[in-house]
Amino acid sequence: MSNTIDNLLHEARRFAPSEEFAANAVATAELYERAAADRLGFWADQSRDLLHWHTPFTRTLDWTNPPFAKWFDDGELNVAYNCLDRHVLAGNGDRVAIHWEGEPGDSRSITYAELTAEVKKAANLLTSLGIHAGDRVAIYLPMIPEAVIAMLAVARIGAVHSVVFGGFSAESLRSRIDDAEAKLVITADGGWRKGRVFPLKDAVDAALANGESTVEHVLVVKRGENEVAWTEGRDLWWQDEIALVDADHVAKAFPAENPLFILYTSGTTGKPKGILHTSGGYLTQAAFTHKNVFDLHPESDVYWCSADVGWITGHTYVVYGPLANGATQVLYEGTPETPHPGRWWEIIEKYKVSIFYTAPTAIRSFMKIGRQHPQKFDLSSLRVLGSVGEPINPEAWMWYRDVIGGGSTPIVDTWWQTETGAIMVSALPGVTTLKPGSAQVPLPGISIDILDEAGVPVGKDQGGLLVVTEPWPSMLRGIWGDPDRFIETYWSKFGDKYFAGDGARYDMDGEIWLMGRVDDVMNVSGHRLSTAEIESALVAHPLTAEAAVVGAADETTGQAVVAFVIIKQNQLETAESIDVAAELRKHVSQQIGAIARPRDIFIVTELPKTRSGKIMRRLLRDVAEGREVGDTTTLADTAVMSSIQAKLT
């Protein structure tokens, strides 16, 4: 690992912005100066410039009760109005908001005027179903326009959405519904993925099958045309109901700190946390970063972020950032390789996409199958590329630039988290000289540092833990229903500084390199998973006595889930007669979702533990990555590792 870090930090390639790009760039170096001179004034200006406030704010930040921040808190706005109506009123109603591309090849282009009209009806529909400001609505949809419409309709009436990624299981959906006490679920019969319809309504039915729930209605968008079961009185077809409601809806203003959404993400314990974001600060930073980091010229650019709306990237850079900025964007339902391995590049050619934002794991899998696929398409419309979700290795960075970006497009590597709400560390195209593999510099108005374990800032060429040292507008406002966990997780290690959970280093220029999580959170294909959550799914299976999960380095997915499992004594015979690994993989899929399915499952008889009983995952990671096993002196029984290795070979 240290070799790799040395190689990374000696990456010598540099790419200065071209004169032409810099001359037309949205962001200028002056942003850094303005923010450095008056950080809060800078954010207040951004907020006033980028958003419409029904009631202007007079206070920028209230940090009198840290870590509970309030931004712009005496102002009032409507988030959906900012993403829709105001663009229509400004004369841009005919601009396409969404070029939607279904996986089977059907498509739909929706203008800002049309999207506004759809959201108004959906807002009336929600109100008619008894949804009021503050109520929670779970959204479990494929990547179809209704996902965006549903989110904005919830926002428009001041309610709170909790989008659950369509790949999560019924069990995961239920726990999120229960935690947020959602009154309504918006889903679809099914969506298209890999050439087939995957059922979603079935999962909602399964989620709600057992015990009382807070859900009063299930609104079902017709998309997959697959057969679904129906609960009379509870279930309603979206298309039928939308046809009945009033088309007019006036957006009411809500306080800046009105909750906008809850998004569940994995932490170090088995229970996902509901990250809470509010309105004015979140939308300010979403719009600011989307505009400046991607150099958005809304009148001419076509933007595409490949993330699903079920993740934070989809919230901020598919829904709120682009729509607040009046951008034209592509929304694609399916997978990159369906029906052929050049599907994404075909979409870029078709819509002349100029800004493209995706994850390193996708780039690495394209590298693997070869440049002949993208080379079949005309990608010359691309002028800015972005990367998010995990460190991008310099090799993938160069491939992205050369093969997708024609050897000239700037690449912005953007570091941020569900909790930060929006991009925090990134180059600014047109300003920053790019360095493959490094996320580089904090954005204007964002204060980042790297500290050692004792909380002392480290110097150049040194590593430590990444912190945010000052509150920022789109910061999480808490964990839903659990203020103690909020404080404990992020604010107990370094007091008033936000601890992100990432390791990082400064290079010789003082620029930032992300080194991966320092806690028990894994990053698989840019998706966050917790070792504890998968372990608890594994031990819930009747065969399993004990389980330990680690994230092992994987060439394509960044990390992969590797599980070590002990079978119960009285189940050994059963285990002999079946394919245990296949059975447990299926079980994890059902409990959490396919993304959490272990790549490898090793059946062992013991796990390496310290004298106090703590599993030493570091040693298991050595085994999973095929390395020599590190220091075992703190193990209660030092022979365990050799017995595990003997078992595996």
Site residues, ligand PRX (CB under 6 A): 265, 312-313, 388-391, 413-418, 439, 500-502, 514, 517, 523, 528
List the one residue out of 144, 92, 348, 131 whose CA is nearest residue 241: 131
Of 316, 269, 350, nearest in space to 476 by CA: 316
**Smallest separation (angstroms) from ligand PRX to the CB of 439:** 5
621 labeled part of a ligand binding site? no
Dihedral angle sign, alpha carbons of residues 172, 175, 181, 183: positive
Orientation angle between helical segments 580-591 and 170-180, nearest 10 degrees: 30
Q: Is 505 annotated as a binding residue?
A: no
Looking at the chain, the number of H-run helices and the number of E-run strands are 23, 30
Structure tokens at 396: 């993938």
Q: Are 421 and 312 in contact (CB under 8 A)?
A: yes
What span, in angstroms and rounded, lies between the C-alpha atoms of 220 and 140? 10
Q: Where are the beta strands (DSSP E) in 31-132?
A: 61-62, 70-71, 76-77, 96-101, 107-111
Query: Known binder of ligand: residue 414?
Result: yes
Cβ distance to ligand PRX smaller for residue 173 or 476? 476
Q: Is 106 assigned to a binding site?
A: no
Residue 390, annotated as binding a ligand: yes
The smaller minimum CB distance to ligand PRX, of residues 86 and 505, is found at: 505
**Strand partners of residue 504:** 464, 514
Asked whether residue 73 is marked as a ligand-binding residue, the answer is no
Cβ atoms of 9 and 513 closer than 8 Å = yes
Q: Which is nearer to ligand PRX, 329 or 417 (CB)?
A: 417
Q: Shortest distance, CB of residue 522 to ligand PRX, whole angstroms?
A: 10
Least distance to ligand PRX from the beta carbon of 515, Å?
8
| Residues 490-503: b if buried by 16+ CB within 10 A, e if exposed | bbebbeebbbbbbb
Minimum distance, C-beta of residue 502 to ligand PRX, in the bound complex (Å): 5
Is 389 marked within a binding site?
yes
By beta-carbon proximity to ligand PRX, the closer residue of 329 and 559 is: 559
- Shortest gap between Cβ of 275 and ligand PRX (angstroms)? 8
Output the smallest distance, CB 409 to ligand PRX, in A. Answer: 17
CB 407, CB 385: distance < 8 Å = no
**How far is 628 from 623, CA to CA, in rounded Å?**
7
Is 374 known as a binding-site position? Answer: no
Nearer to ligand PRX, 325 or 358 (CB): 358
Closest to ligand PRX by CB, 126 vs 466, is: 466
DSSP string, 249-266: -PPPPEETTSEEEEEEE-
Is residue 514 within 8 Å of residue 504, measured between CB atoms?
yes
Q: Copy the structure tokens of residue 515.
A: 């080194």
Minimum CB distance to ligand PRX, residue 130 (Å):
32
Please name the residue ranges forming H helices in 132-267. Answer: 145-156, 170-180, 201-209, 238-242
**Per the annotation, does 556 bind a ligand?**
no
Distance in Å, CB of 236 to ligand PRX, minimum: 32
Nearer to ligand PRX, 312 or 431 (CB): 312
197 vs 263 by CB, closer to ligand PRX: 263
Q: Which is nearer to ligand PRX, 403 or 524 (CB)?
A: 524
Was 413 annotated as part of a binding site?
Answer: yes
CB nearer to ligand PRX: pick between 102 and 272: 272
- Annotated ligand binding at 513? The verdict is no
Tell the smallest beta-carbon distance from residue 267 to ligand PRX (Å).
10
Min separation Cβ 257 and ligand PRX, Å: 22
* The two structure tokens encoding residue 554: 């994987």
Instruction: Establish whether 525 is an annotated binding residue.
Output: yes
The CA distance from 396 to 418, in Å, is: 24
Q: Which residue, 399, 333, 332, 336, is CA-closest to 362?
A: 336
Binding-site residue numbers for CoA are 193-196, 313, 525
Binding-site residue numbers for Mg(2+) are 539, 541
Binding-site residue numbers for ATP are 389-391, 413-418, 502, 517, 528
Binding-site residue numbers are 193-196, 313, 389-391, 413-418, 502, 517, 525, 528, 539, 541
